[in-house]
């Protein structure tokens, strides 16, 4: 990532607080930015602010990860190819709704796994075919490390996304395209507002932005935004099933 010319960074899901924090972090390093999201015109104020603060080009792109038929044209027909593509798309949904409403569960599965996996897979193919190399970043979740009763629909979708990223990284290891998996843990955003979250385990969106930047620069494979989450999840994953079933996690 060194050199006078910085590569463009595409943020998929840029309407989220984490997405904007990632965009601002890369823009502060001189990277031109593409903000892709539904109702992208509503990001005009953020576009102007990032442009003014960091003197970089910022474009808005209309993008809906659930419009499967449009993903191919979005990736293939766009002029220029970003050097970094970050998918920060996600939605927790309501666990109880997902247990009783197949449409609600499908929305969680599609938003957290199907769509992000498909669009990053398409970018991988374009990076390979153009011989451009690059970095793909998937913002997944610690919730995918082990299914828990409180959020296993969301967690299983993230587990699928994590496995997809791992497989893609393995496949592309010698083709000049690096794949990074980022696991933020709790983040203080609108999605978690009102929850009683432990401060030691809760990151600000800006921390996620810095973690993504560092992971890209250092070509990390998997990054826990707060390293303590690695230890927490190793303990949770090590619990025998008989004990785990009696927990309320």
The pLDDT of residue 28? 98
Half-sphere exposure of 74 (CA within 13 A, CB side): 25
- CA dist 123 and 77 (Å) reads 11
The pLDDT of residue 132? 87
Task: Give, for 187, the enclosing helix (H) or strand (E).
Answer: strand 186-187
Whose CA is closest to 128, among 80, 175, 84? Answer: 175
Cβ atoms within 10 Å of 48's Cβ, excluding its own:
11
Q: What is the pLDDT along the chain (249 residues), one digit of tens a residue?
A: 444 679 999 999 999 999 999 999 999 999 999 999 999 999 999 999 999 999 999 999 999 999 999 999 999 988 899 999 999 999 999 999 999 999 999 999 999 999 999 999 999 999 999 998 999 999 999 999 999 999 999 999 999 999 999 999 999 999 999 999 999 999 998 878 888 889 999 999 999 999 999 999 999 999 999 999 999 999 999 999 999 999 988
Q: Which is the catalytic residue, given 123, 152, 154, 224?
A: 154
154 catalytic? Reply is yes
Q: How far apart are the first and last CA of the chain?
A: 40
């Amino acid at each position: 990532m060194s050199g006078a010319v910085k590569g463009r960074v595409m943020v998929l899901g840029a309407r989220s607080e984490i997405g904007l924090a990632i965009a601002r972090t890369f823009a502060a390093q001189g990277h031109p930015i593409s903000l892709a999201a539904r109702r992208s015109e509503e990001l005009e104020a953020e576009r102007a602010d990032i442009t003014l603060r960091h003197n970089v080009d910022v474009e808005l792109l209309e993008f809906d990860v659930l419009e499967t038929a449009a993903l191919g044209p979005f990736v293939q027909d766009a002029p220029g190819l970003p050097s970094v593509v970050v998918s920060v798309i996600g939605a927790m949904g309501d666990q109880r709704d997902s247990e009783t409403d197949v449409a609600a569960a499908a929305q969680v599965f599609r938003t957290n796994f199907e769509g992000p996996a498909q669009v990053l897979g398409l970018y991988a193919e374009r990076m390979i075919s153009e011989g451009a190399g690059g970095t793909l970043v998937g913002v997944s979740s610690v919730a995918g490390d082990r299914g828990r009763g409180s959020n296993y629909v969301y967690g299983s979708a993230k587990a699928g996304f994590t496995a997809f990223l791992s497989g893609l990284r393995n496949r592309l290891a010698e083709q000049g395209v690096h794949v990074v998996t980022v696991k933020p843990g709790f983040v203080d955003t609108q999605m978690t507002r009102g929850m009683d979250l432990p401060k030691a385990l809760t990151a600000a969106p800006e921390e996620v932005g810095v973690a993504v930047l560092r992971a890209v620069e250092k070509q990390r494979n998997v990054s826990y935004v707060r390293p303590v989450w690695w230890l927490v999840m190793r303990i949770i994953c090590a619990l025998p099933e008989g004990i785990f079933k009696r927990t309320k996690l």
